[in-house]
Chain A
Amino acid sequence: MRILGIETSCDETSAAVVRDGHVISNIISSQLVHSLYGGVVPELASRAHQRLIVQVVQAALERAGTDRSGIDAVAATYGPGLAGALLVGLNFAKALAFGLGVPFVGVNHMEGHLYSNFLGEQGPRYPFLSLIVSGGHTMLVHVEAPFRHRLLGQTRDDAAGEAFDKVAKMLGLGYPGGPAIDRLAKEGNASAVPFPRSFLEPGSLDFSFSGIKTSVLYYLRDRGVQPGGSAAGALTTTETADICASFQQAVVDVLVGKTMTAAGRCHVRDITLAGGVSANSALRSALQAAAGEQGIRFFSPRMEFCMDNGAMIAYVGWMRRAAGAASPMDLPAIPNLELA
């Protein structure tokens, strides 16, 4: 069974083909060769999806060595995300499914991330605990069985990835700044600046990252550095590296601490990391080490499955189809869709 999956919830236009649970193509707009489309794919896509969707879907079919007639169902993200962006992929998927006379499957974007660790060679076993960290989300989810999950905690303000991006901007490292902080942190001293770790009230599995963002701001202000502008110029390379390392360590400590607390509570043997921030090397290694100490197996997705991608949507679509499910054609885009 071949499923075409389409993802347009935020910045990325992506399409992928999954055959019997295996990814055979995965095209992500930001990774396309720019010249192919006569210009730079904008960082902020909201409605650029309209320009890219046909080419991206076509490329996914070609890469998969098939054409439209080889597709058995079309899956697309219907939330959460930006309404205008979601509608492009959702309506395209419905129209294609209608034209081909095959089932349409609406997929919750967060479920895509939740099951993205099955896209590798070896996936986790149920029940498992998943930490989803991206620019827009930070959540801990207990997955008891396929589509039986419980949200254990989430951020009350900024997402972890957002804190990375905003701190990077304060340091003049550009946007998005997660990879830059990761790289510079490797050269820095993680205990140089004692940034606060916000664990909230005892026992809470929720997160808060706006405090640490403000702490970095005050740290720069107190040193006479104007955040944003030419901050990088006013700090030495060593100082910038130390701030990056110390900030990153504070965020990683909280993410790992809460994940291990949750793992203990749920008695899981497997932990998965997902979402764009799962590309962060310090987070990967710290979580792997903490899990290892408890005899818990740790999984993190390949880079192309960390970011928003069509493969994870096609995969969840395949899971749904394998269970005989399909979605009604009047399924609306739901911008604030929650994890059921």
Chain B
Amino acid sequence: MQTTTTSAGETAALGRTLARQLKPGDVVALSGQLGSGKTCFVQGVCEALGVRTHVGSPTFTLINEYPAPFGTVVHIDLYRISSMRELAALGIQEYFTERCICLVEWPELAGPLLPPGHVTVGFRHGGGDTERVITIDGGRQ
């Protein structure tokens, strides 16, 4: 499914729409370059999943955990990971359980660690400075 959004608000709304189809245990890979709308989208997803705490960027902390009514939303950002060794040391697999919904930014760096059946959301800059082209694929059937 491909959608073009024209504002940060629309990008967050698309995140809320996806969130309504997510179940505990799901992993969402968010792929796209800097400034392509990933954080906005994640904020929409978290809002719809019932997260009430502050949702920021985990670039520095690598992993942010947000409590939600169903369990925990785990927001992972692999931007700073530079080797398989660092990735292995981070232990992201430990979060892929039925108690968590994981949102993974820069998933290309996770390689084979992402579980099969994960949802892939692709972001790219569209025409003008406000358009974002967002594609959503995959998921557990």
Contacts and interface: CB of A to CB of B under 8 A. Distances in A.
Contacts of B59: 135-136, 158-159, 162, 165-166
A44 B63 contact: no
A254 interface: no
B89 A46 contact: yes
B60 A162 contact: yes
5 contacts: A46-B62, A47-B90, A82-B62, A170-B34, A336-B65
Of all A-B residue pairs in the complex, the 10 with the closest CB atoms, nearest first, are A214-B35, A136-B60, A135-B60, A47-B89, A335-B65, A158-B57, A162-B59, A217-B35, A136-B61, A44-B86
Given A44-B86, A170-B34, A217-B35, A80 B60 contact: no
A52 to B, nearest CB: 13
B141 to A, nearest CB: 32
A83 B39 contact: no
A317 interface: no
Nearest to A81: B61
Given A44-B80, A162-B59, 6 more contacts: A10-B61, A46-B91, A81-B61, A136-B59, A154-B54, A210-B35
Contacts of B56: 136, 154-159
Given A44-B81, A154-B54, A336-B67, A161 B90 contact: no
Majority secondary structure of chain A interface residues (helix, strand, loop or mixed): loop
A214 B60 CA distance: 18
B4 interface: no
Given A10-B61, A161-B60, A46 B67 contact: no
Interface of B: 33-35, 39-40, 43, 53-54, 56-57, 59-67, 80-82, 86, 89-91, 129
B20 to A, nearest CB: 23
A338 interface: yes
B47 to A, nearest CB: 12
A82 B65 CA distance: 9
A84 interface: yes
Nearest to B77: A162
Interface residues of A, number: 36
B60 A134 contact: yes
Residue of B39, B43, B61, B82 with most chain A CB atoms under a 10 A cut-off: B61
B58 to A, nearest CB: 8
A227 B34 contact: yes
B34 A159 contact: no
A46 B57 contact: no
B50 to A, nearest CB: 15
A46 B60 contact: no
A171 B80 CA distance: 16
A218 interface: yes
A152 to B, nearest CB: 14
B98 to A, nearest CB: 18
A159 B56 CA distance: 8
A335 B63 CA distance: 9
B89 A48 contact: yes
Contact of B86 (A46, A134, A170, A175): A46
Nearest to A227: B34
A131 B64 CA distance: 22
Given A46-B90, A159-B57, A217-B35, A83 B63 contact: yes
A213 interface: yes
